Each structure stands twice: as structure tokens, then as C-alpha cells.
Chains A and B, each alone.
Chain A
């Protein structure tokens, strides 16, 4: 134990290393978000499917994913998938796990967004003889997207804050880097504090960004084009 003064020289020395690891964190979050949005839409549409069995089984799959810990899901994918002949890198596993986990949460957001569209809009689309694909693309989604943005944004920020768990399968993101630096120098104060501050800064920036995105969508009547 070498007392606790904040060592600025050490801070400046380790900052570039942590920032370079931040790229991995951000990449995992970005790819994870894209995958989660796709999965969320798939789950949401399956919940609206005509087949009762599909609806109910999707409900329980979503419920199961939501009520088990992300860390265990990460371990499951990383250690069990190779048994089925599917080996993935830590980053791919992480993106897959984050996408699946948050896709389950997002499906509820998308479902309520789609359910919020008035019945008359569906009826009008049918009266105009639009295909189901065009109905979603031109009528339903353009109206449903705006109310979905805040909740989707919250989940993406939450996902970002769960990326440190990927250090458990040796992905070299910010926390793993801080841990390595800490154990090499026997100083955890600066690296862990830096990582914490960076998370706080990124979260606040993301919250601001999402607010701006939301403002760009007018409340009514805009087209996806």
C-alpha cells in the first residue's frame, strides 16, 4: 500500500492506453446496438405474429433473456457455443450477447411503439391496398419511431455501461486495460478512476446526443426519405 495521493504523471502516462481501449468499448456498443435493434424488431414482429404458439414462445424467450444476468449469458455464449461447433472471438461473442440481451428489452419498446399507432392508420393502409411491408415502411414506422427514441436511447446507454462485463472473457476494452495497468504498477486508483470518469462523460454525451436526435424528428408527419 503506497498511500493514496493522486499521481498526475502516472495519470498522463496511462490515459492514452485507456483511450485506445475506449475504441474497443465504443465499437462493441455500436455493433451491439445495431444487432439489438435488429433483434428487437424481430422479437416485436414475432410477438405480433398470427400464430399463437410463436407469440407465446417469443414472450417466454424474451422474458428468459431479460431475467437472467448478462454476464452468465456472455459466459454461456463464449463457452457453450464452441460445443456446437461455433467458435467466436471475444468481440463477436460480446456483440452477440449485448445484442440479444438488449434486443429483448428493445422489443418491448418497439412493440409498445407499434401498438401506439391508431387502428385507423392500419385500416387506411389496408383500404389503399398497401402490402404489409409497405404499411410498416411508409405508414406505421415513420409515426412510431419518434416515441421510441428516448427509451431506445436509454437502453443503448445502459448497454454501453454493461460493456465492462466483456472483460470477463478477455476482451481488451477500457476496464480490462485498467486492470492490466493496475496489476502491472500496483496502482489501481488512477486507472479505475479514469475509466469511471470516461464512462460518466460518454454517458452524458450520449444522453445529450439522443436528445438532439429526438428533436430532429418532428412530432407529426415526416417521411423516412
Chain B
């Protein structure tokens, strides 16, 4: 097979990979914020539920979660297509790690900021959304960036439930053409480029969000 053809087939797979990331990432962020905040501030039963979710998804393997959702849920009468199973499994998995990022970032905001906002008579929600969160967000960006890269890497697992992502196309091409060296080399490069793109984007976002927060000392 011509090298150009291989690359064009792999590009189709890369688009599927990007689609999965684009859907799973918002789900992961949603889970991270909701369960991170529940874990910090909600009353007892809700807090226990959040802890159970976090420990379950962090303590078991992503591939097993994916298989469980894809193969076992149909026995409960819930049949979902492979794509939905992939997005749900990866979103919930990365989201569980994200809850700890949210919690850590909120807790790392200096205590004086809470005290000052109480002294200024802000309501609880004003304290959280106007004082604490803007500062916590900046702390969250680097670890969330790492998780986003973890997500891109984890999407390769969906090839094992027969979704035609980048890894799946590579395996398929390798089985038919036997040009394994070129194929897997190109695939590794593709993933590397995607990860570096995320790194670049995250750095931009971090600079953007930390504007006006007076970090790194006074500027003139």
C-alpha cells in the first residue's frame, strides 16, 4: 500500500478519535466539577455517593469499565451503541480523577481569601463563584491539561470494542498490509502531535485565565 493511502486511512481514524475526545472531555469536566463540589460541600449521603463514584472509577481499570458498560449493561436491558459506551466510560473515568483536581485547587486557595469574603459579608455562592473559583480555576488548568492528554491516550482503548478510531484503523491496516513499521510509527506520531497541540492550547488558556489575578508579583 502507498504511504499516502495509509496516512489517509489513518486520518479518518484520527477524526473518530478527536470526535470521542470532543464528547468525552465535556462530560469529564462536568463530572469533575459536580462531584468535586458535592464531595467538598454536600451533606452526608451525597458526599458518600460521590466518594463511592470516585473510588470505584479510580480503583478499577478503564478498559474493564469500558467492557462492563458495553457488554454488561445490555443484560440490564440498557443497550447502548459502542460510541456512547466509549464516551460514557472515558468521561466517567477521567471525570473521577478530575474531582480530585477540583477539590485540590479549591482547597489550595489561601484561607485569607475565604476569611476576607466572609468579613465582607458575601453569601456562600458569591464566595464560591466570585472569589474562590476564579483563583482555583487557574490552579486547575495544568492538572486538567494532564488529564486531557490522559483522555486522548485512553481513547485508544475504544478500538477494543470495535470503534474505528485511530488505533483500530492502525490494527486493521497492519493485519491486511503487514507494513507494521510505517503504520504504527505514523500512529504514534499522530497521538504525539495531538498531545502537543493540547499542551500548547493549555498553556495559552493558563496565561489567559491568570491575567488580572496579580500572580508572580506586582507588575509596575
**Inter-chain contact B195/A68, CB cutoff 8 Å:** yes
Task: Give every chain B residue within 8 A of A73 (Cβ-Cβ).
Answer: 188
In whole angstroms, what is the CA distance A182 to B64 when docked? 13
**Inter-chain contact A75/B170, CB cutoff 8 Å:** yes
**Does any Cβ of A come within 8 Å of B49's Cβ?**
no
| Interface-side segment among A42-50, A114-122, A135-143, A188-196 | A188-196
| Interface-side segment among A8-16, A90-98, A159-167 | A159-167
**Does any Cβ of B come within 8 Å of A21's Cβ?**
no
Task: Give every chain A residue within 8 A of B72 (Cβ-Cβ).
Answer: 188-189, 192-193
Residue of B160, B174, B196 most packed against chain A (CB within 10 A): B160
**Does any Cβ of B come within 8 Å of A3's Cβ?**
yes
Contacts A68-B188, A71-B167, A72-B187; A83 near B180 (Cβ below 8 A): yes
In whole angstroms, what is the CA distance A195 to B62 when docked? 12
**Does any Cβ of A come within 8 Å of B153's Cβ?**
yes
In whole angstroms, what is the CA distance A30 to B198 when docked? 33
In whole angstroms, what is the CA distance A188 to B85 when docked? 16
Residue of B63, B76, B180, B191 most packed against chain A (CB within 10 A): B63
**Does any Cβ of A come within 8 Å of B214's Cβ?**
no
**Does any Cβ of B come within 8 Å of A34's Cβ?**
no
A96 to B: closest C-beta gap in Å: 15
**Inter-chain contact B71/A188, CB cutoff 8 Å:** yes
B201 to A: closest C-beta gap in Å: 14
In whole angstroms, what is the CA distance A71 to B71 when docked? 20
Task: Give every chain A residue within 8 A of B217 (Cβ-Cβ).
Answer: none
**Does any Cβ of A come within 8 Å of B137's Cβ?**
no
B115 to A: closest C-beta gap in Å: 31
| Interface-side segment among B1-9, B53-61, B106-114 | B53-61
**Does any Cβ of A come within 8 Å of B50's Cβ?**
no
In whole angstroms, what is the CA distance A70 to B155 when docked? 11
Which of A67, A76, A79, A175 contacts B196 (CB under 8 A)?
A: A67
Residues of chain A from 155 to 179 with CB closer than 8 A to chain B in the complex = 161-165, 167-168, 175, 179
**Inter-chain contact B191/A195, CB cutoff 8 Å:** no
Nearest residue, chain B, Cβ from A4: B75
Contacts A70-B153, A175-B64; A75 near B174 (Cβ below 8 A): yes
Task: Give every chain B residue within 8 A of A187 (Cβ-Cβ).
Answer: 75
Instruction: List the interface of chain B (C-beta within 8 A of A).
Output: 55-56, 59-65, 67-68, 71-72, 74-77, 149, 152-157, 159-160, 167, 170-171, 174, 180-181, 184-185, 187-188, 191-192, 195-196, 199
In the complex, given contacts A71-B159, A75-B171, what are 14 additional A-B residue pairs having Cβ atoms less than 8 angstroms apart? A2-B75, A69-B167, A72-B191, A76-B188, A79-B180, A80-B181, A162-B61, A182-B71, A189-B72, A192-B67, A196-B61, A196-B65, A200-B55, A203-B59
